[in-house]
Chains A and B, each alone.
Chain A
């Protein structure tokens, strides 16, 4: 940004001086247009000088590396330091920005020529970047250096390939579990074992639904199972979902829906979604009715204002569901005993989305070879072990997972709910990777919000949305 501004400023100074000179001679009527064109072009031209200057001297290269999770920044800075030790000519500069700003800056950076060389990518984002020719196909590098794809947990590496090309090496994975407030459970007489063995269905919520009710308390001290429970005066909710979840509902509704028999589509790069599946509709209706009908969960407005995590850690709700990357936040922020329990058993068993991040190299990078070296290291056992030892996320390589488990164990945090889910047969389903994600997003956000707010019945809203989504693939 600063560079562009400077270019504009210089152009403006040049233009003004030209014009002042012109003023002495003849009428400058025609000048400003041409001159302003120069100014406009100066702003439009990508700022290429700084990277080019560095490229000239091959033995001192700085790679810019972007990530959005501030919790992981120290871990990757440690990786970067270890990397520079073995590659003294390459320095990695880690740049972090929150999820929203991160993607805005990556995208505008691609247009303006200032995107990071290597950046953490997401499965909902990369297919579009790849289609728009913004990512380096790393398959040739992988073959040249003989990177072993089998070192990663099964399924993770495949998510990043398409038609023989490859756009990322897996770095980590995550699953979803139930997060509970132990103090509230004790008070209500619900045991962790009960919670771990709970079942769920979309009709009445199963025994999990009963637990939620038991944990919902009104101002008179009655729980939602008692006669005379007043749902307009709830002081403690039994459950708080992470909002409406949009197109994927990763930590919100995907585990409920899939354990109810729903599937998003027919797999990697499918061209048709099944959002109109009645299995999803009844799941969403149950999920929305927790607030709309039962009053055992806060309103969507409350969740949107603070976030489910904040409501939970502030002691407003007894249970929530969240991803394994949030473990540290819960343990750190909650002023009560908190723990992680298995997802309830749905009609089709326990199901969690299995999602993973990877790094990608931007095509505009002036140092693709060095970028590849860093990316390869970030997805190697050496870095995975470092990242694992920080205990913030589960690395994509088993030895890293072991390091993470040890780190959590040292902090007396039991994360087996997440790992058991990941290793259980048919315990996970993959993030639905398809084209048009950036257009599916707004459609499904509005649709899921309308269901959660009770504006439309789930079945109607999802039918209409599914038609709209599938029309994108026509």
Chain B
């Protein structure tokens, strides 16, 4: 008979409790991520059309993907969106965060900033769809009352994607600002004091202190918003449905179209796998390049 020490029992209890606490997450992870992912991967090797049993087709879908010009177009359109979205959103958010940090401690203002992010994406998209309507929309009424020509916005091949990017910047900038603001609060104030004594001005302090010390948070924000940005879908479903023509046919819409409009679930899964590989590569590069896990504070 082994004799348990008090420490061992406590440790065992701790593990039991720990497992219990993470149980909901584990179930969620398995049911909504792990199992669907594996099934999706398997699906990508079949010709499943939703209604009839799937047939294994080997790498036929992958071969088709390599010569799929529309897939390349979808990637290009998605990249265009990311380029429109991320830099502007991050700069605006950083500006808001610095102002929050320097000028106000008001929680009310912080609350207002994340308000757009608290609204469901669908609501945001509908709201802007109506406001930007070419004939009845509020924005066009304002534009016309100022004496300018009304704009088609989401109905134009050239304006649709910048418009969608603007909608999502509006939605996400405040939330991103709050994340960055939290990072700013972790920067010790004495560093600024020391810099002030040395005669540094605001700009020098921002470039020399704020930016370098904010790097881990900034990278976290960049990585997550970049991945999120690649997954642009809901705004497009509501506003343009991939159009006009194919101006906003981003990868996610392309996947949706294959799966639920064209009933080619197998091929849709193949595109998803390809997108996954692309995203994981980008993320690894980002993490490596920015040394995400170390701060200049160390």
Known: A23-B20, A301-B152, A449-B245. A133 touches B133 (CB 8 A): no
Q: Which of B100-143 contact A (CB under 8 A)?
A: 133-136
B residues near A232, Cβ cutoff 8 Å: 149
A33 to B135, CA, bound (A): 54
With contacts A305-B155, A306-B136 known, is A39 near B27, CB below 8 A? yes
B243 contact set on A, CB distance < 8 A: 445-446, 449
Are A128 and B157 closer than 8 Å at their CB atoms?
A: no
Q: Is A107 an interface residue (CB 8 A)?
A: yes
Determine the main DSSP class of A at the interface with B: helix
Q: Does B88 contact A (CB under 8 A)?
A: no
Q: Digit string of A61-85 for contact with B (CB within 8 Å is 1, else 0)?
A: 0000000000000000000000000
Does residue B276 face the partner (Cβ distance < 8 Å to A)? no
- In angstroms, how far is the closest chain A Cβ from the Cβ of B132? 9
Q: Does B234 contact A (CB under 8 A)?
A: no
In the complex, what's the smallest C-beta–C-beta distance from A398 to chain B, in angstroms?
Answer: 37
A230 to chain B, nearest CB (A): 13
A37 touching B155, Cβ below 8 Å: no
Q: A306-B135, A438-B263, A455-B245 are in contact. Are A20 and B20 (CB under 8 A)?
A: yes
A-B contact count (CB 8 A): 94
Chain A residues lying within 8 Å of B30, measured Cβ to Cβ, are 32-33, 36
Instruction: Let me know if A128 and B263 touch, CB within 8 A.
Output: yes
Answer yes or no: A15 CB below 8 A from chain B CBs. Answer: yes
| B149 cross-chain contacts in A, Cβ below 8 A | 232
A16 interface residue (CB < 8 Å to B):
yes
Contact B35 A40 (CB under 8 A): yes
Chain A 299-328 per-residue mask, 1 if CB under 8 angstroms from chain B, else 0: 111101110000100001000000000000
Which residues of A in the span 34-48 have a Cβ within 8 Å of any Cβ on B? 35-37, 39-40
Q: Decide yes or no: A453 and B244 within 8 Å by CB, A23-B19, A133-B51 being known contacts.
A: yes
**Given A12-B27, A111-B50, A453-B157, A302–B261 Cβ distance below 8 Å?**
no
Establish whether residues A104 and B135, one from each chain, have CB atoms under 8 Å apart when the complex forms: no
Cβ contacts under 8 Å, B16 to chain A = 23
Name B246's contact: one of A28, A133, A446 (CB within 8 Å).
A446
Distance (whole angstroms) from the CB of B28 to the closest CB of chain A = 9
Chain B count of residues within 8 A CB distance of the other chain: 35
Q: Does A450 contact B (CB under 8 A)?
A: yes
Contact of B134 among A35, A128, A301 (CB under 8 A): A301
For residue B52, which residues in chain A have a CB less than 8 angstroms away from its CB? 132-133
Residues of chain B within 8 A of A302, CB atoms compared: 134-135, 152, 155
- Please name 26 pairs of A and B residues whose Cβ atoms are closer than 8 Å in the assembled complex, sorted by A: A15-B27, A16-B23, A23-B20, A32-B30, A35-B27, A36-B27, A36-B30, A36-B31, A36-B34, A36-B35, A104-B260, A107-B50, A132-B49, A132-B51, A300-B155, A301-B155, A301-B244, A302-B134, A302-B155, A305-B136, A305-B155, A306-B135, A450-B245, A453-B156, A453-B245, A455-B157
Residues of chain A touching chain B, judged by Cβ–Cβ distance below 8 Å, are 12, 15-16, 19-20, 23, 28, 32-33, 35-37, 39-40, 104, 107, 110-111, 128, 132-134, 232, 299-302, 304-306, 311, 316, 438-439, 441-442, 445-446, 449-450, 453, 455
Interface residues of B (CB under 8 A from A): 16, 19-20, 23, 26-27, 30-31, 34-35, 49-52, 133-136, 149, 152-157, 243-246, 249, 257, 260-263
Counting from the closest, the 6 A-B pairs by CB-CB distance are A301-B155, A301-B152, A36-B30, A132-B51, A450-B245, A449-B245
